[in-house]
Structure 1
Amino acid sequence: MKNLIKVLPLAAAMTLMSCKKDQKADQLITEEETAIVAPTPPTQEEMVTEAQSKPLTTLALSESNFEFGKVKKGEHVEHVYEVTNTGKNPLIISQVKPGCGCTAPDYTKDPILPGQKGQITLKFDSTNFDGLVNKQAEVYANVETAPVVISFTADVQPK
């Protein structure tokens, strides 16, 4: 027991001396901190290159523009664009990039086989708009004319 009493103050002193200069004993010593850097979004050229890196095919849209008509301010509306693979290779939609944050895309992620159909949905939040609105989204897929542009219009009315 006497040896333990002699060792405890020595252990405490060694712990205090192991701190770096200008550092208190209760501070956490960490290795060099690394900043987390968000990846930069790909450029349009990079997205086209990625989309066209697969064997090319062709597609047909049920429509390239949709009119919502009158929409009440603050209303959330959505429209589904039907995509048909008219080529001989699987159609792969790699990304749908809307023109602004008011539009959220969703799309068929699996390859669309020749002759089969897929979907692209655009969801529009009219909260920050008044009057006639025209929005678009770029569809990146393994087609020669990427990106394919789809759009919609809405006439946002006051509540």
Structure 2
Amino acid sequence: MKNFIKIVPLVAAMALVSCKKDQTADQLIVQEETALTPPQSVEDAQAEMVQAAQSKPLTNIALSEAQFDFGKIKKGDQKEHVYEVTNTGENPLIISQVKPGCGCTVPDYTKDPILPGQKGKITLKFDSSNFDGLVNKQAEVYANVEKAPIVISFSADIQPK
């Protein structure tokens, strides 16, 4: 029994030493992440886009037209229209973004700076598959002009197949 009493503390000490936890394995590795911005309201996001567009020296723009009518088209037709833009100012015109009102419209635009007196293009491609009757769609053009965004639009009378 005396030997047992001597062995118990020895066994306990060995158990503690042999089961020693590897501290490095349990350490939490924390990496710095870039701060996520909280969700913005539509107005805040639009104001941010305007500010980004206007961060370059301002210029002036002239559109060939601000509104286009496709007339009667068959449901499911995919149509596109090119709006011509002219830089009428003294600084390069930079179109930073064209934001359509919905997913049925896909924009394409001149990405390079448009020099004073030169022309660029904004193309809106419309898929009429999900519409019937008269539709009016628009897109906002963000550029380094005083009154951004510029709104361009189109209409169509969608007929059944």
Q: Common fold, TM-score beyond 0.5? A: yes
The residue number in structure 2 matching 1:46 is 48
TM-score (norm 1): 0.76
TM-score (norm 2): 0.75
- Determine which of 149, 153, 156 is the counterpart of 1:154: 156
- Determine which of 61, 78, 81 is the counterpart of 1:79: 81
- The residue identity in structure 1 corresponding to 2:134 is L
Q: Distance in 2 between matches of 1:152 and 1:89?
A: 29
The residue number in structure 1 matching 2:120 is 118
> Shift in Å at residue 71 of structure 1?
1.0
Q: Which runs of 4+ in 1 moved over 6 A?
A: 39-42
Q: Go from structure 1 to structure 2 and tell me whether the alpha carbon gap of 1:95 and 1:40 turns closer, same or farther (over 3 Å shift).
A: farther
- The residue identity in structure 2 corresponding to 1:146 is A
- The residue identity in structure 1 corresponding to 2:110 is T
Q: Distance in 2 between matches of 1:107 and 1:43?
A: 21
Q: Distance in 1 between matches of 2:58 and 2:69?
A: 30
> Shift in Å at residue 131 of structure 1?
0.1
SS in 2 for 1:43: helix
Q: Go from structure 1 to structure 2 and tell me whether the alpha carbon gap of 1:40 and 1:74 turns closer, same or farther (over 3 Å shift).
A: farther
The residue number in structure 2 matching 1:95 is 97
- The residue identity in structure 2 corresponding to 1:85 is N
User: Deviation string for 1:8-51 (max 9, x for gaps)?
Assistant: xxxxxxxxxx9x9xxxxxxxxxx78xxxx8x9687000000001
The residue number in structure 2 matching 1:128 is 130
Provide the aligned length of Structure 1 versus Structure 2.
Answer: 135
Pairwise CA RMSD of aligned residues? 2.8
Q: Distance in 1 between matches of 2:49 and 2:74?
A: 35
Q: Distance in 2 between matches of 1:85 and 1:40?
A: 35
The residue number in structure 1 matching 2:60 is 58
Q: Which structure 1 segments of 5+ residues have no match?
A: 1-17, 21-30
Q: Distance in 2 between matches of 1:120 and 1:66?
A: 13
Q: Distance in 2 between matches of 1:153 and 1:131?
A: 10
> Shift in Å at residue 83 of structure 1?
0.2
SS in 2 for 1:120: strand
The residue number in structure 2 matching 1:10 is none
Alignment of 1:9-24 (within 5 A): none
Q: Distance in 2 between matches of 1:155 and 1:106?
A: 23
The residue number in structure 2 matching 1:24 is none
- The residue identity in structure 2 corresponding to 1:141 is A
